[in-house]
Chain A
Amino acid sequence: MSKLLNYSLRKILICAGIVLVLSIPIYYFAISRLWQYEMDEHNVMLTTEAAREDSFLIIGAVTLLSVIFFIFLLGALIVMNRILSKKMWQPFYESLAEIRAFNLNQPHDIRFKKTGITEFDDLNTSLEKLLTANINIYNQQKEFADNASHELQTPLAVVQSKLDLLSQSEQLSDAQFQLIEEALLALSRVSRINKNLLLLTKIENSQFADKEQVNLSAALEELLSQLSFYFEEKELSLHLDITPGVMVEGNRILLEILLGNLLTNAVRHSSTPGEVHLSLHAGYISIKNSGKTPLLEEQLFKRFAITSSTTSGSGLGLALIKQISGRYGWKVEYKFESGFHVFRIGF
């Protein structure tokens, strides 16, 4: 890739070179005609030998002069180009830097400088319009997710409490109680989705700003002890390879959510009986669980991408993992390897 200005510089130089090369025979022709005319005027006769010598001299002188001018021109053009690119393209580079620094997650007020050049000012106004529109839509969408989730909590609480009371009524038949139970289970799934959506919005809004050094190994052990019951229940054999004392900088709550989601995911989507391999070392964590078919990688981390009626997950677990990792610049990788789903996060 070449810079825009170098591109034009090369063209100009080639053009100048061609003009100067073409000028050599014209100069030669003009000077020798002039020379001939002068000699004829003063009746000077030359031997053929001397005439040839003269013409060589003229060719030499003209070529030398052309080359010298070409070098001058070259220098002048390069210097001019430098000055021009600095001055003329300055606003362009400024706008470019501004756009590069722009992050939709942390939008600052974008302001392009007035350049006084029509084209650049047009470009900047258009960019400003485009970005402002995007920021507004993004904010509205975030606000909507936030408000909707908040506003849903209270009606959800009302429904749940009414079902709760209904289940206390005397003389319920088994079938009636089953109906209430099923409604409650579905409702609890709704509230879990809602809670995770709220959490996602909060992470997007950077509400978990404070950072500390977190002992990831210890946090993981603690979570494993909480979850051991589920591993046993699903007949999953757990193979651990954990370096003690792995420290990672981040928000404790977010890191625990990250680990919790990785683990519950592995338990939830393992075949029964199955195997889970977990390794944590300085620099990365990787979790492998047995599975049948590879998952679609590009769909995997999207919200609600792989929810199905057979799993009771919220469909937001991997989106949360992605969001939290993204926040700290960590890379999440997925692959399917000889009957195992492998998730790896590099710190």
Chain B
Amino acid sequence: MKILIIEDEPELAKSIAVYLREEGYSCDFAADYDEALEKIRACNYDCILLDIMLPGGNGLAIVEELKQLKKDAGTIIISAKNSLDDRIKGLHLGADDYISKPFYLSELSARIFSVIRRRQLGNVNIIEQNELKVDVLGKEVTIHDKPVLLTKKEFGLLLLLISNANRVLSKAALAEHISGAGVVDFDSYDHVYAHIKNLKKKLHDGGCGNYLRTIYGTGYKWEI
């Protein structure tokens, strides 16, 4: 899987690349508008991370350019603006997702995971791990072919954990994911524990192996 990181802050781009390479993606960089255009014309990427405040031009124009080139790349907008207007405009232009700075690398990775799968058809959308089957698009979970009912938040958490398999997720990253991009700006970290406990219990009751582990006391890890 090839990913283009269009971001003018080199340190951030580097962090993203380090994290994503560990997940098995190969990463390319573009630090300004022209370089970005050049790269998207020359290569085919599976996913493009796009900072819309770019030197040399508006990142939204790149989304339009991608559409014109008929490139089949998933696009995730990274913005320092966190403005709902921009989010709507970006998604309207054809971007697949929107994430505002600052974000957790695990969150970004989960978004990339979903965007890439959403663009492809067939069995890629179903993750299988022994007795556990997760339908990413249908949002369904089965264990030993028996459905397990998860709440929206629990499903989101499961997806975050699975898409960051074998990585350590901090409580802060999980809390951020749970409170999400909505208007409800909640900040108690105790609820992370409660959500994880519920999820663990449901998986365990369904007969799923113990893949979700607590690490270092407060971190979590999905083991494959």
Q: Judging by beta carbons under 8 Å apart, are B103 and A195 in contact?
A: no
How many residues on chain B are close to A (CB under 8 Å)?
A: 47
Q: Which residues of B contact A119 (CB under 8 A)?
A: none
Mask of B96-111 contacts with A, CB within 8 angstroms, 1/0: 0000111111100000
B185 within 8 A of A: yes
In the assembled complex, B83 has its CB within 8 A of some CB on chain A: yes
Interface 1/0 per residue, A213-234 and B, CB below 8 Å: 0000000000100110110010
With A168-B167, A181-B170 given, is the CB distance from A264 to B185 under 8 Å? yes
- Kindly list chain A residues whose C-beta atoms are within 8 Å of the C-beta of B102: 153, 156-157, 159-161, 187, 191
Q: Say whether, besides A165-B18, A195-B82, A160 and B103 are in contact (CB < 8 Å).
A: yes
Residue from the list B82, B191, B218 in contact with A177, Cβ < 8 A: B218
Q: Does A167 contact B (CB under 8 A)?
A: yes
- Whether, in the assembled complex, A257 has its beta carbon less than 8 Å from a beta carbon of chain B, the answer is yes
What's the Cα separation between A187 and B170 when bound, in Å?
Answer: 13
Q: Which residues of A contact B80 (CB under 8 A)?
A: 150, 153-154, 157
Task: Report B-chain residues with C-beta under 8 Å of the C-beta of A177.
Answer: 168, 170, 215-219
B183 touches which of A164, A172, A256 (Cβ 8 Å):
A256
B85 to chain A, nearest CB (A): 8
Report yes or no: A167 in contact with B219, Cβ–Cβ below 8 A: yes
CB-defined contacts of B19 to chain A, threshold 8 Å: 161, 164-165, 168
B185 touching A314, Cβ below 8 Å: yes
**Residues 1-42 of B contacting A (Cβ, < 8 Å):** 9, 11-12, 15-16, 18-19, 22
**B residues less than 8 Å from A132 (CB atoms):** none
CB distance from A37 to the nearest CB of B (A): 98
The answer to whether residues A184 and B187 also contact, given A161-B12, A165-B15 and a CB cut-off of 8 A, is no
Determine whether the beta carbon of A233 is less than 8 Å from that of B187.
no
Residues 143-157 of A, flagged 1 when their CB comes within 8 A of B and 0 if not, give: 000000010011011
Known pairs A150-B81, A263-B184; A168 contacts B22 (CB<8 A): yes
Instruction: Let me know if B185 and A164 touch, CB within 8 A.
Output: no
Are A188 and B218 in contact (CB-based, < 8 A)? no
Say whether A198 faces chain B, with CB atoms less than 8 Å apart: yes
Question: B126 contacts the other chain (Cβ, under 8 Å)?
Answer: no
Partner of B103, one of A157, A173, A230, A312: A157
A196 to B172, CA, bound (A): 18
A185 contacts the other chain (CB 8 A): yes
B84 to chain A, nearest CB (A): 6
Instruction: Please tell me which one of the listed residues A164, A223, A264 contacts residue B15 in the complex, with CB atoms under 8 A apart.
Output: A164
CB-contacts of B50-72 with A (<8 A): none
Chain A residues with Cβ below 8 Å from B176 are 188
Does B153 interact with chain A (Cβ within 8 Å)? Answer: yes
Q: Does A162 contact B (CB under 8 A)?
A: yes
Interface string of B174-189 (1 = CB under 8 A from A): 0110000011111111
Bound: A184/B103 CA distance, A? 11
Whether the Cβ atoms of B172 and A181 lie closer than 8 Å is yes
Residues of A within 8 A of B183 (CB): 223, 253, 256-257, 260
Residue of A157, A226, A233 touching B184 (CB-CB under 8 A): A226
Q: Which residue of A lies closest to B108 (CB)?
A: A161
Interface members, chain A 106-125 (any B CB < 8 Å): none
Smallest beta-carbon distance A50→chain B, Å: 102
Residue B117 at the A interface, CB < 8 A? no
Q: How far apart are the CA atoms of A127 and B49 in the complex, in Å? A: 52
Assess the A184–B184 pair: CB atoms within 8 A.
no
Looking at the complex, which one of B83, B188, B190 makes contact with A202 (CB distance below 8 Å)?
Answer: B83
Most buried by A among B167, B173, B184: B184
* A17 interface hit (Cβ, 8 Å): no
Beta-carbon contact of B185 and A196 below 8 Å: yes
- The CA-CA distance from A184 to B104 in the complex, in Å, is 10
Q: List 13 A-B contacts (CB under 8 A).
A: A153-B82, A165-B105, A168-B19, A174-B217, A177-B215, A177-B218, A178-B218, A184-B173, A223-B184, A229-B153, A229-B195, A233-B191, A264-B186
Where the two chains meet, the residues of A that have a C-beta atom closer than 8 Å to any C-beta of B are: 150, 153-154, 156-162, 164-165, 167-168, 172-174, 177-178, 180-181, 184-185, 187-189, 191-192, 195-196, 198, 202, 207, 223, 226-227, 229-230, 233, 253, 256-257, 260-261, 263-264, 268, 312-314, 317
A-B pairs, top 5 by smallest CB distance, nearest first, are: A161-B15, A177-B216, A157-B102, A153-B80, A184-B172
